[in-house]
A and B are shown apart, each in its own frame.
Chain A
Amino acid sequence: MDKYISVPLSDEDARSLRAGDYVYLTGTIYTARDAAHKRMQETLEAGGKLPVDMKNNVIYYMGPSPAREGCPIGSAGPTTASRMDKYAPGLLDLGLKGMIGKGKRSQAVKDAVVRNGAVYFAAVGGAGALLSKAIVKSEVIAYDDLGTEAIRRLEVENFPVIVVNDCQGNDLYETAIRAYNREG
């Protein structure tokens, strides 16, 4: 089912999404991948404050290619989410409502999604040129020294994603693959 949702993600919207929904996101999201997650974790362990308040926000696991002149961003598709599995449950418990990436999540992440009424979306991997067209503005807001891995604030318009893990514990990767499995 196609849905148009604004981000940051309200508790109500997050809880209404179901695995398999095709969703267009409009509003503000933040990027963070391996190195930024590691640094956020270290900040939390040291009792510090995160550069982004997690509450109701959505993190896009993405490190873009450099922008050409006149474009807000370069190629901007999702990276493999499982590398962030170590960090995601802690951030979800701090109020993070949505994650955008590609690939399967650990049971600990799926449990944290259920526990916090959150959602994990997949964007189409390897469609970075197409996805860049749904990003209208990009600004580095923290960890500038990490280059492509810096935290960016993105303004998105109808950014296309698919719900994989929802707050009821459904997992589209499991159900959809089973539906097309033809091994005797």
Chain B
Amino acid sequence: MPDGNGGERKIFRNMRTIEVSEITKNIKEMCIEANHFLSEDMEKVLDRAAEQEESPLGRQILEQLQENRKIAGEDMIPICQDTGMVVIFLEAGQEVHFVGGDLEAAVNEGVLQGYQEGFLRKSVVKDPIQRENTGDNTPAVLHCRIVPGDKVKITVAPKGFGSENMSRVFMLKPADGIEGVKNAILTAVKDAGPNACPPMVVGVGIGGTFEKCALMAKHALTRPVDRRSETPYVREMEEELLAKINASGIGPGGLGGSVTALAVNIETYPTHIAGLPVAVNICCHVNRHSTREL
């Protein structure tokens, strides 16, 4: 087959074919699922928090959140009315051939169907300045990666903006070192305080470039909250920062207490000799994500 540049384009017959309508269907279901049910690791850590919280008011709030999740699942009422802007991580195996339409359009169709059929709030405006609601919660923010293999892994993570608004990027200097990084993270968390609906999950990206660290911080929020980093110094940092955040006194709902964060998840990446970028993406206790592999 001619490739349009005067050469021949080869057709590989052993590619795995996936209809984009499959992507639409799965994303629709995952949008509804993520907004009504938290992952098992989140449930577990929130239940433990309700037992461990020292403040009576804090415990009462954590018990209300347990009751809230129960009602959400039983009556199919979203856990939070802010059903978010939909962030999607899509990892496509390089041996996959998508057919039947435009992949990105299929993703957005899944979001549209999920938000309509699932009685989810439409929270997206078409233009950041003119601010007219798109009426169907599209478009999603889609991050695609090509990876080896013939599978497609999709993570749907609806992100609420109470906590998103409190997130930060710091372009530190190499001389600021690990202490500078820790201070930046603690500053972001303390500034967020009651606004970010604590107990929160703190996603951190260290290294890379301006946008890479922000993307890592977002991705870090999708890691199970009971799984620590495999890099020893990063794991230590995660544990130390969690203890420091919980000593701040912010507590559940920001109304005082010993459980302010449920986890600090850090991702790192190589960076430039001149830089030390740090991004802190804060998520409320409704840290929603649903993952499927096709």
Contact = CB atoms under 8 A, between A and B. Distances in A.
Asked if A and B bind, the verdict is yes
Interface of A: 22, 35, 62-68, 71, 74-77, 79-80, 82, 102-104, 122, 124-133, 146-148, 160, 162, 164, 172-173, 175-183
A137 B256 CA distance: 33
B255 A172 contact: yes
A128 B78 contact: yes
B76 A176 contact: no
Nearest to B82: A79
Nearest to A183: B247
A171 B89 CA distance: 41
Interface centre among A104, A125, A146 (most CB of B within 10 A): A125
Given A125-B197, A128-B68, A129-B68, A176 B256 contact: yes
Contacts of B251: 176-177, 180
A35 B131 contact: yes
Given A74-B121, A124-B61, A179 B194 contact: no
15 contacts: A22-B57, A63-B123, A67-B119, A74-B119, A77-B80, A102-B254, A122-B254, A124-B65, A125-B162, A126-B79, A129-B78, A130-B67, A131-B68, A176-B55, A180-B55
Contacts of B258: 180, 182
A71 B78 CA distance: 13
A127 B64 contact: yes
Most B C-beta atoms less than 10 A away, residue of A68, A71, A127, A176 = A127
Interface residues of B, number: 50
A8 B95 CA distance: 63
Contact of B197 (A104, A126, A172): A126
Contacts of A79: 82, 162
Contacts of B133: 146-148
Nearest to B192: A103
Contacts of B79: 75, 126, 128-129
A146 B197 CA distance: 25
Among A63, A67, A104, A180, chain B packs the most CB atoms within 10 A around the CB of A180
B81 A65 contact: yes
A177 B253 contact: no
B207 interface: no
A128 B249 contact: no
Interface string B172-213: 000000000000000000000111010000000000000000
Contacts of A74: 77-78, 81, 119, 121
Q: Which 4 A/B pairs are nearest by Cβ-Cβ distance? A: A176-B256, A181-B249, A180-B249, A103-B195
Contacts of A173: 193-194, 254-255
B293 interface: no
Given A162-B57, A172-B255, A82 B195 contact: yes
Contacts of B67: 130
B285 interface: yes
Nearest to A132: B77
Contact of B165 (A63, A80, A177): A80
A132 B80 CA distance: 10
Contacts of A160: 64
Contacts of B72: 75, 129
Interface in B214-257: 244, 247-251, 253-257
A68 B64 CA distance: 22
B197 to A, nearest CB: 4
A66 B76 contact: no
B154 interface: no
A122 to B, nearest CB: 7
Contacts of B247: 181-183
A46 to B, nearest CB: 20
Interface string B141-185: 000000000000000000010100100000000000000000000
